[in-house]
Amino acid sequence: MSFNLQTPIDYLKGVGPNRADLLRKELGIHTYQDLINLFPNRYIDRTQYYKINQLQRNNADVQVIGKIIKFEEIAQKRGKRLVATFQDETGTMELVWFRGQKWIRESLKLNTNYVIFGKTNWFNGKFNMPHPDIELHSEHEQNLRSAMQAIYPSTEKLSNKGISNRVMTKIMQQLFLESKGKFVETLPESLRSELRLISKSEAVFNIHFPKTPELLSKAQFRLKFEELFYIQLQLILKNLIHKSKIKGFPFETVGTYFNTFFKEHLPFELTNAQKRVLKEIRHDLGSNAQMNRLLQGDVGSGKTIVAFMSMLIALDNGFQACLMAPTEILAVQHYNGLLKLSNKLNISIKMLTGSSNTSSRKEIHEMLENGELQILIGTHAILEDKVKFKNLGLAIIDEQHRFGVAQRSKLWKKNTSPPHILVMTATPIPRTLAMSVYGDLDISLIDELPAGRKAIKTVHRYDGNRLKVFRFIRDEIAKGRQVYVVYPLIQESEKMDYKDLMDGYASIERDFPKPEYQISIVHGKMKPADKDYEMQRFINGETQIMVATTVIEVGVNVPNASVMVIESAERFGLAQLHQLRGRVGRGAEQSYCILMTGHKLSNDSKTRIETMTRTSDGFEIAEVDLRLRGPGDIMGTQQSGILTLKIADIVKDNEILQHARYHAKQILSKDPSLSAVENKSILNTYRQMSKYKNIWNYIS
């Protein structure tokens, strides 16, 4: 077949070098394939024609057949406008152009039948249509046209250069004429008949030129499914290849360390979720493949104990383990927690951070290399080239989104063979996104809180109730508790009259005077040493109130803090609100989260506040967040390119995504190499995608 979808767009009749250049720059269209995948934003019904006397003042798009009987130029403040009188057998209306008049005058003929299309305005007692879509009635009759007319994505530059929707439609028609509307099938017959999917050629035709609304729906479903199916196929394949090619150390024994700890020193009964996750991790560590697992658990769900017990399995097999945290405060916290647990087992454990002094660094380097040091906790300092292990068997990374892929691979290189990797995150990732973004990692969930944890009471209060809130805080401090007060900004922005941090600090000092009350303050502009000093005072209970910006979001553990006041809560995203709330509720006492807002709230803010007061389920909160913000924002800018989907929408098409993942898994479990005859179309499509574009190679 001489027709090739990888042909550069310049070669399509009606495009030419200038248009091709614009299409490349503005819409990223380089080839015929890219053009076919430029899916319409919406559709307009072009089956109905109106008479001029039937027009209504409703701002809808209408289509009228008639003739231009005269042109006139009318002076206005700036330049002129061109007005044409347009007539059918029932009356007249005006067509108006504010630019491009010369070309319009030269190309339009008087007393010739035209079809005009556009939005109408009512002005000076008659209808007018500015910048109408206009074509000869005779041509209009012959076009490859459908009931529903596609409206394509566009940009200001394209419109200004005359590449209107009509031009795009013509270019698309030309492509269909050249291809004879035949496109290679990408899904096997068995899958198509099971899911009642229309053929690729039929789907592509009906997405651009739908014959009926029903066929349009079928085309959309078929193309969304296909797009999501190939993303899932790629991620699952990546995982399978990873497991078959990258051999891990098989940890064959669960020995003395693990069993002694489990039977004699476990500080509390494990929840069923923790037991299930440990089982999944033990299974991975015992197989011959390298573990690559994401451990998701809400704040306070007990990920650390699971991590520690996984480390014990590595130690039982004669290997070392390390845990890397994004900040020094967090590393210290992990170290202190794990030190208590390891003391009883006589395990050697050390901490390495940016502020470790030279002599202790030297000692750590030596102990790591000769194998005396069994567990190392630290920050990015662990990644330095000087840090070498004798035999690192398990690397645990806390708060994944703060460590790039490059840093993970540095950990791999510390060994002859890559260690098992466990990534922990307290940021719940909605299932939809997890399936699409971390589809190549195995995912474990801890979805229940340890026994004895009381649910945090979350309430919404307006600024007017501040005195009552302060009274409540005094009562809690009188009981010996501590309080966080968090602000969104450090300097007031001119546009927003939010109380900034310093204002807030001053008013709290007035209401909570020294020496009866002591207050810490922490914000992003402080030197790290000052920040740590203030944090430490709060952790030691020397201050009762911590006034801060969001620097306390990740990981500070003060069991005695029972109240979290979030000022201007409407300015925080849901994920941030949820993370901040997780700073309290770490002890046995009842804890509270108070969301303070102004009286004027947008709809999104109302939804966020309502969600926070209604539920503490991190996954439900993450789903709402995903609906409000969209996938790009949630993953952070460095990965916002990950889901540039052509037609599917991760949020709205969640169900199709689940079907796609299910079917991709089924097919690969029966035929991992896609060598079976019925999977030939899948293998070919997959190869084409890998060859011609970096097929969704998102992550790791």
439-482: pLDDT as tens digits: 677 888 888 877 777 889 999 999 999 999 999 999 999 999 99
- For residue 72 the two structure tokens come to 């006139």
* Per-residue tokens: 165: 């929707």
pLDDT of the residue at 495: 42
What value does the mean pLDDT take over residues 543-564?
79
Return the pLDDT at 649. 79
Q: Which residue has the tokens 């007990």?
A: 302
What whole-number percentage of the chain has pLDDT above 90? 48
According to the model, what pLDDT value does residue 447 have? 80
pLDDT of 180 strictly over 80: yes
Judge whether 700 and 405 are in contact, CB under 8 Å: yes
pLDDT at 500: 65
Could you give the angle at which helices 165-179 and 200-208 cross, rounded to 10 degrees?
A: 160
3 state SS of 96: strand
Rounded-to-integer distance, Cα 512 and Cα 491, Å: 23
Instruction: Classify 137 as helix, strand or coil.
Output: helix
- Span 47-144: which CATH code? 2.40.50.140
Distance CA 674, CA 678 (A): 9
Task: Give the dihedral sign, CA 241/246/251/252.
Answer: positive
Mean pLDDT on 378-386: 89
CA distances from 654 to 260, 271, 623 (A): 45, 30, 11
**What amino acid is encoded at 440 in this protein?**
D
Show the 3-state SS of 174-190.
Answer: HHHHHHCCCCCCCCCHH
Q: Which of 295-299, 525-529, 537-541, 692-696 is least confident? A: 692-696
pLDDT at residue number 472: 97
312-316, 570-574, 583-587, 661-665: segment of lowest average pLDDT: 583-587
Tell me which range, 303-317, 381-395, 570-584, 686-700, is most confidently predicted by mean pLDDT.
Answer: 303-317
Report the predicted TM-score, pTM, of the whole model to 2 decimal places: 0.65
How is residue 478 written in tokens? 């009188």
> What is the Cα–Cα distance from 327 to 349, expressed in whole angstroms?
18
Could you tell me which residues come within 8 angstroms of residue 450 by beta carbon, excluding any fewer than 6 positions away?
A: 268, 271, 300, 301, 302
What are 79-102's pLDDT values in tens digits? 889 999 999 999 999 999 988 888
pLDDT, tens digit (0-9, with 9 covering 90-100), for 238-276: 888 878 887 778 898 999 999 999 999 988 889 999 999
Name every residue whose Cβ is closer than 8 Å to that of residue 552 and which is 6 or more positions away in sequence: 484, 486, 522, 535, 546, 580, 583
The residue extents of the domains of the chain are: 47-144, 256-446, 457-615
- If one counts every other C-beta atom within 10 angstroms of the C-beta of residue 29, the result is 20
Averaged pLDDT for residues 91-115: 91
- Mean pLDDT value across residues 219-229: 94
What percent of the chain clears pLDDT 70, i.e. is strictly above it? 90
The pLDDT tens digits for 561-620 are: 999 999 999 988 888 898 889 888 877 789 999 999 999 999 899 999 999 999 988 878
Q: How far does CA 257 lie from the centroid of its chain? A: 40
- CB distance 242 to 440 below 8 Å: yes
More confident residue, 652 or 109: 109
Whether 338 and 377 have beta carbons less than 8 Å apart is answered as yes
Query: In angstroms, what CA-CA distances link 610 with 263, 321, 485, 593, 634?
Result: 44, 43, 20, 13, 20
* pLDDT tens per residue, range 625-654: 877 876 555 444 333 334 567 888 776 787
Q: Residue 547: which residues within 8 A CB-CB, separation 6 or more?
A: 485, 487, 501, 504, 505, 508, 519, 520, 521, 522
State the pLDDT at residue 1: 40
User: What are the tens digits of pLDDT across the range 329-358?
Assistant: 788 889 998 999 998 899 999 999 988 899
Start-end of H helices in 98-136? 101-107
User: Phi and psi dihedrals of 127, rounded to 5?
Assistant: -80, 145
Q: How far apart are CA 623 and CA 651, in angstroms?
A: 9
Q: Which residues pair with 483 in a beta bridge?
A: 545, 563
Helix (H) or strand (E) holding 445: strand 442-446
Residue 220 has pLDDT above 90, yes or no: yes
Q: Which helix (H) or strand (E) holds 622?
A: helix 618-629
Instruction: Give the span between the Cα atoms of 181 and 183, in whole angstroms.
Output: 7
Q: Which residue has the higher pLDDT, 539 or 196?
A: 196
Nearest to 608 by CA among 566, 636, 572, 565: 572
CATH of 457-615, one of 3.40.50.11440, 3.30.70.520, 3.20.20.60, 3.40.50.300: 3.40.50.300
Query: Quick one: tokens of 361?
Result: 């660094």
- pLDDT > 50? residue 404: yes
Instruction: Note whether 256-446 and 457-615 share their fold.
Output: yes
Residues 6+ apart with CB under 8 A from 454: 585, 588, 589, 590, 591
CA distance 5 to 196: 26
18-57 confidence digits (pLDDT tens):
999 999 999 999 999 999 999 998 888 777 889 999 988 7
C-alpha to C-alpha distance for 364 and 349, rounded to whole angstroms: 10
Output the six-digit token pair for 388. Answer: 């070498």
Check residues 328 and 698 and name the one with the higher pLDDT: 328
Pairwise pLDDT comparison (135 vs 68), residue with the higher score:
68
- For the residues 175-180, what does the mean pLDDT come to? 91
Higher pLDDT: 1 or 657? It is 657
| CATH architecture, domain defined by 256-446 | 3-Layer(aba) Sandwich (3.40)
Q: Do residues 535 and 561 touch, judged by C-beta distance below 8 A?
A: no
